[in-house]
Amino acid sequence: MALLVTPHLVQLTFEATLKSFWRREALRKFLRDCHVSEAHLSTWPTEESKRVFLDRTFAALQRSDKGKVVIGEMATALAEQTTFPDLRNWEDSDVKTAAAKQAVAELKALIKTQDEKIRSEREIEAAKEKGRAEKAAHQRESMDLQKLMQRLADLHPQMGTAPGGYAFQEWFYDLLTFAEIENRRPYVVAGRQIDGSITVDGTTYLVELKFTNDQGGAPDIDVFRSKIESKADNTMGVFVSMAGYSSVAIREASGKKTTMLLLDSNHVFLVLTGAMSLPDLIRRVRRHAAQTGESHLPVSAFSG
């Protein structure tokens, strides 16, 4: 951590240096290890006291950014001290050591305070940045959802026509891409048209799309069930009928081991308004189907 070299830090670093080293050579070595230049160390005459030399040294270091970095290195090194070898074998070693420990403790406390303040400021800034990023992502998502909603509204006059069905199919897979759901676009297998497939939480669902003014009926359910049952045992289906379903169709799709989920325009608009993500919507309807055997869960019943 880069220390903030304030006047207080400089003063405490000066005191800790002065009290941790009493022999000239020990002090010279410490300063050299902290990158005080040899040119400066060579200006220390024999007759000059340690205190006076340190006064000159700290004054010189504070005049440049490079020098302040050196003071920071000195402060860090001093704060790491747990023993004071240069204070041994003096008549008053105990007194000198106690004074040095006190000076180092004060320096260490200041460094800790700085560290906590910097960490707190970084955490606050990180939280703000996260908030800004989430807000921007939400705004981008809202804009994309609005575009998808407008495109669907533009398709409404074509509802019930072949071109409209193909356009809705294209629109639906753009919605899947937006929702980041793994998908495969429409394909033909064994002579049967499959409107595509999606994978959510490891389960593959065949897709059936109905963009007509008529509700999905029992015959639609039967055809779709036969497509599902011709695939692997764990394959399920998602039927999207924008006009909804007849009560007979819902009853035919439901059962003890239902393999399909029925979605309508209300489910689609729940996603387009940002109230629920498409993966969560599918999970919610599937959970209901697993618990009750009912393939269709109206949006009005989602709170239940």
Structural domains in the chain, CATH included, are 7-119 (no CATH), 159-301 (3.40.1350.10)
* Helices (H), ranges, the chain: 7-20, 24-33, 38-41, 50-61, 65-79, 93-155, 162-178, 218-229, 247-253, 265-272, 278-292
For residue 179, pLDDT over 80 is answered with yes
Greatest Cα-to-Cα distance within the chain, rounded to the nearest angstrom: 108
pLDDT of residue 188: 75
Q: Which two tokens stand for residue 279?
A: 């993966």
pLDDT in tens, 160-172: 999 999 999 999 9
Residue 133 pLDDT class (50, 70, 90 cuts): low
pLDDT tier for residue 116 given thresholds of 50, 70 and 90: confident
pLDDT in tens, 75-90: 999 999 999 999 999 9
Please state whether the predicted TM-score (pTM) of the whole model is above 0.85. no
Cα 297 to its chain centre, rounded Å, is 33
Give me the pLDDT at residue 128, please. Answer: 75
> Average pLDDT, stretch 248-257?
92
**How high is the pLDDT of residue 155?**
93
3-state secondary structure of 242: coil
Q: What is the mean pLDDT of residues 297-303?
A: 90
Task: Quick: pLDDT tens for 17-59.
Answer: 999 999 999 999 999 999 999 999 999 999 999 999 999 999 9
